[in-house]
Amino acid sequence: MKIPLKGKVIFTGVLFLLLLSFALNLYLLNSEKKISPEDIAVAEKIIGLQFNQKDRELMLEDVNENLINYEKIRNVKLENSVPPSLYFNPIPPGYKIEKTKKKFKISKIKDLKVPENLDDLAFYPLTHLSALIRERKITSLQLTKLYLERLKKYGPKLECVVTLTEDLALEQAKKADEEIAKGKWRGPLHGIPWGVKDLFSTKGYKTTWGTPPYKDQIIDEDATVVKRLKDAGAVLVAKLSLGELAWGDVWFGGKTKNPWNLQQGSSGSSAGSASATSAGLVAFAIGTETWGSIVSPSTRCGVTGLRPTFGRVSRYGAMALSWSMDKVGPICRSVEDCAIVFNYIYGPDGKDPTVFDFPFNWDPDIDVRNLRVGYLKKEFEKDYRNKENDIATLDLLRSLGINLIPIELPDLPIESLSIILNVEAASAFDELTRTRGVDMMVRQERRAWPNVFRWARLVPAVEYIQANRIRTLLINEMAERLKNIDVYVSPSFGINLLLTNL
């Protein structure tokens, strides 16, 4: 059949377009192969390995295909609240845990009187405040107004308050007084004013995470910890500062101060929680720790912090920094205060899959002489800041009749395992890094998140897994060392701080 000239022209045009499309796709496919053997050779220096030229050429196609896969993964929107599918378990195989829950005891406070100067109440421990409220010698509303006044007066000086929750606090205090007057006492936290680190979501209020990119963020639901304390009858008076994205004591509102020395930062990252508790602006506060964020500001500000074991308190509604290391705990004026608060916040909630269902048994009347107490002898013998106070602590323990047993930490590269935190944090804020949102953050220096988020991108995935495998060895070796002791004492800082967070 003879094809008309017009048909030939159309056919030729279509064929040309097909060939052009094929050539273009081939060009685009080849252009996507941006990585050369020379690029791989340079990358080898970053990861501390060396391949030969044959190795590089063999892996080249797969390395380039990975670029496409990376882009597909990055195109999936992942909120900070989405955890990895792999859950960390800190419990060594065969470890026996007490399963029986005993009645929670609190020290009995007798004949407690209201001080002539009501401001003194601001520094009373929970046990005392609770007794006064229960006996209706003071009201929750009185106490709440006292703390609100102090927050307004001293909060700006200490730069420890992000948001006053005054309307909510007054409403909760009035409700507490009404219930207590009717004989409905919810427990030792009923009517007690408290503050929360501003990385926990709170219905009706901003949750800023302490940094400019999120300073107007609203997550309109209560975090599990906030809800549990609300159910306990506690009165939320403020959302307190944290070093931005949970590092240090600098946030978009300034540098949180140590109440004992206004020329000094409070340390962090639970900066406002420790500062406000120390200054008598709240009766207690909630903080978090990934690597020192409860221990460090508590030490600096002279308060008592409880950094629980991983998996004891739900982190639902809290900013995620490291899914395998983040922990929630109270900052208070005494050990017993911490035990009281912890008793209300621990345990599963059905929302954080890492939380274990184990009881918390507290006995304030325990004879400490019956405890087997270890101590890190070599760590205490080193020269370090604040050593005098630590040695005084050891002397006090001995004066109580406690026989201190020397122990040593496992001989493993504990410091090197910090890449676990850095890589997980970089993942938690990956989009912020890729969109240059980190450029808005206050701290732009070597030891700050923007820099860490960038260099953590260069940590090989294999090394991250290997670090976690060493973590398994560490868990098992520590379990072996703890078999013959109930508890051990260490300096607040040093290598033990990282070890006990892993």
Helix axes 335-345, 126-134, angle to 10 degrees: 70
Q: What angle do CA 270, 276, 278 make, to 5 degrees?
A: 100
Q: Measuring CA to CA, which residue among 315, 327, 318 is closest to residue 353?
A: 315
Q: What angle do CA 233, 237, 242 make, to 5 degrees?
A: 120
Q: Which of 197, 215, 239, 255 is catalytic?
A: 197
The full set of domains in the chain, from first to last, is: 118-364 (3.90.1300.10), 377-499 (no CATH)
Signed CA dihedral, 27, 28, 29, 34: sign only: positive
pTM value is 0.91
Tell me how far CA of residue 499 lies from CA of 198, 287, 306, 390, 416, in angstroms: 26, 19, 16, 19, 11
Q: Measuring CA to CA, which residue among 325, 333, 327 is closest to residue 346?
A: 327
Q: Decide: helix, strand or coil at residue 254.
A: strand
Listed in order, strand segments (DSSP E) in 100-170 are: 161-164
* Structure-token pair, residue 335: 């050990």
Cβ-based neighbours of 338, under 8 Å, separated by 6 or more? 304, 305, 306, 329, 330, 331, 332
For residue range 68-88, what is the model confidence (pLDDT) as tens digits?
Answer: 999 999 999 999 999 999 999
Tell me how far CA of residue 236 lies from CA of 32, 168, 219, 285, in angstroms: 54, 7, 17, 9
Tell me how far CA of residue 370 lies from CA of 13, 55, 364, 367, 403, in angstroms: 94, 62, 14, 6, 10
Residue type, 61: E
Q: Are 433 and 440 in contact (CB under 8 A)?
A: no
Q: Decide: helix, strand or coil at residue 372.
A: coil
d(CA 442, CA 434): 18
d(CA 440, CA 188): 43
Q: Strands 161-164, 304-305: parallel, antiparallel or unpaired by DSSP?
A: unpaired
d(CA 288, CA 316): 12
Q: Measuring CA to CA, which residue among 301, 250, 310, 309 is closest to residue 273?
A: 301
Q: How far is Cα of residue 382 from the mean position of the Cα atoms in its chain?
A: 29
pLDDT of residue 27: 44
Instruction: Fill in the DSSP letter of residue 273.
Output: H
Q: Strands 304-305, 327-332: parallel, antiparallel or unpaired by DSSP?
A: antiparallel
For residue range 443-480, what is the model confidence (pLDDT) as tens digits?
Answer: 999 999 999 999 999 999 999 999 999 999 999 999 99
pLDDT of residue 157: 99
pLDDT of residue 382: 94
Active site residue 197: yes
d(CA 263, CA 47): 42
pLDDT of residue 32: 53
Helix (H) or strand (E) holding 248: none
Q: Which of 241, 266, 267, 269 is catalytic?
A: 269
Active site residue 293: yes
Q: Measure the N-to-C terminal CA separation of the chain; round to a whole number of Å.
A: 80
pLDDT of residue 33: 57
Instruction: Fill in the DSSP letter of residue 49.
Output: -
Residue type, 359: P
pLDDT of residue 30: 52
pLDDT tens for the chain, 502 residues long, are: 455 545 544 445 544 444 445 444 444 445 555 899 999 999 999 999 999 999 999 999 999 999 999 999 999 999 999 999 999 999 999 988 889 999 999 998 989 999 999 999 999 999 999 999 999 999 999 999 999 999 999 999 999 999 999 999 999 999 999 999 999 999 999 999 999 999 999 999 999 999 999 999 999 999 999 999 999 999 999 999 999 999 999 999 999 999 999 999 999 999 999 999 999 999 999 999 999 999 999 999 999 999 999 999 999 999 999 999 999 999 999 999 999 999 999 999 999 999 999 999 999 999 999 999 999 999 999 999 889 999 999 999 999 999 999 999 999 999 999 999 999 999 999 999 999 999 999 999 999 999 999 999 999 999 999 999 999 999 999 999 999 999 999 998 889 999 999 9
Q: Which of 293, 296, 298, 314 is catalytic?
A: 293
